[in-house]
Amino acid sequence: MEKQFRIFEITKDLVDDILSRSYEAHFHDFEEIIILSEGGLEHYVDFKIEKVDAPVACYVPMNKMHKLIPCANMRGWVVNYKTEFVPESKLNFISNFNTSTNIPLLSDENLKRFTGLCRIMHSEYKQEYIDLKAISHLLNGFITMIDTQRKRIIPIESTIKASQISAFNNFLKILEENFRRDAGVTFYAEKMNMSERNLNIICRNNFQKSVSEIIETRKLIEAKHLLLHTDKSVSEIGYELGYNEKSYFTRVFHAKMDITPTRFREMTRSILS
């Protein structure tokens, strides 16, 4: 995508056009948010297939392979933007720990707020002289609303939600500094001056994943990056990420991705080329 931003409505004509073509899985060079107001879609993300029904906000980061198959009645909006257009967005970071980032919009009022903001951005985008600064501010608010919605549906009491979110964000910061170590739950619990049990509760409440799962997922993110963008061997990548045995690294990667590191490199490079 040459432009920093674009937005378009999902209409019947657009859906018919997509369904009439043959699309292969691909990578974006931009971030994408789909506001699904009606119907549904089948989403293929990083070798996994998921069915999504409206109303929902779907986030597709630029670093994941994906393919979208719409239902005939799918309607809504699509927003594309370059990462540098909204550099402080949290969605890309959050999506790294999930195959997909789908956030339900649980009420008609909620959906109206998002579609209304899409219409405002679209109106500005269609002006003869586009004010990108105004669109950037609107998009920043749009993304913040999506992240706020994500936090609202976290299934914990509101009185402890804020403190748990803060603790979880602190854990992610420590993880970012240490994920290449051969370190487990005990290491991170000690860093945060809390018990392993409490850290696991916080992680499950915020991401529905255990501490161990989040650590492994962060390693997997880096492994995928190194497999795609370097010529390091599978053994070298595994060792760099704290796995002392190639076979163990391969087993962990396959368990998460349903594909071996070598096959992942072959397939994704083939798609990119």
Domain ranges of the chain: 5-152, 158-272
Residues belonging to the chain: 273
Query: Quick check: 259 and 267 in contact, CB under 8 A?
Result: yes
- DSSP code of 24? -
Strand pairing partners for 102?
Answer: 58
The encoded tokens of residue 272 equal 């990119």
From CA 239, how far away is CA 145, in angstroms rounded? 40
User: What is the pLDDT at residue 93?
Assistant: 62
User: What is the pLDDT at residue 77?
Assistant: 97
Burial of 135 (0-12, 13-18, 19+ CB in 10 A): buried
- DSSP code of 127? S
* Close Cβ partners of 72 (under 8 Å, ≥ 6 residues apart): 15, 16, 19, 39
Torsion of CA 14, 133, 89, 178, to 10 degrees: 130
Among all chains, which residue has been given the structure tokens 């809390």? Answer: 194
Torsion sign across C-alpha atoms 228, 233, 234, 240: negative
From CA 202, how far away is CA 54, in angstroms rounded? 29
User: What is the pLDDT at residue 154?
Assistant: 66
Query: Quick check: 207 and 151 in contact, CB under 8 A?
Result: no
Helix residue spans in 5-49 (DSSP H): 12-20
Query: Quick check: 47 and 266 in contact, CB under 8 A?
Result: no
Whole-model pTM over 0.85? no
Specify whether domain 5-152 bears CATH 2.40.50.60.
no
Taking only the tens place, the pLDDT of each residue in 7-51 is 999 999 999 998 998 777 777 888 899 999 999 999 887 777 889
Matching fold, domains 5-152 and 158-272? no
Three-state DSSP string of 143-158: HHHHHHHHHHCCCCCH
* Sites in the chain below the pLDDT cut of 50: none
From CA 94, how far away is CA 143, in angstroms rounded? 12
Q: What is the homologous superfamily of the domain 158-272 according to CATH?
A: Homeodomain-like (1.10.10.60)
User: What is the pLDDT at residue 101?
Assistant: 76
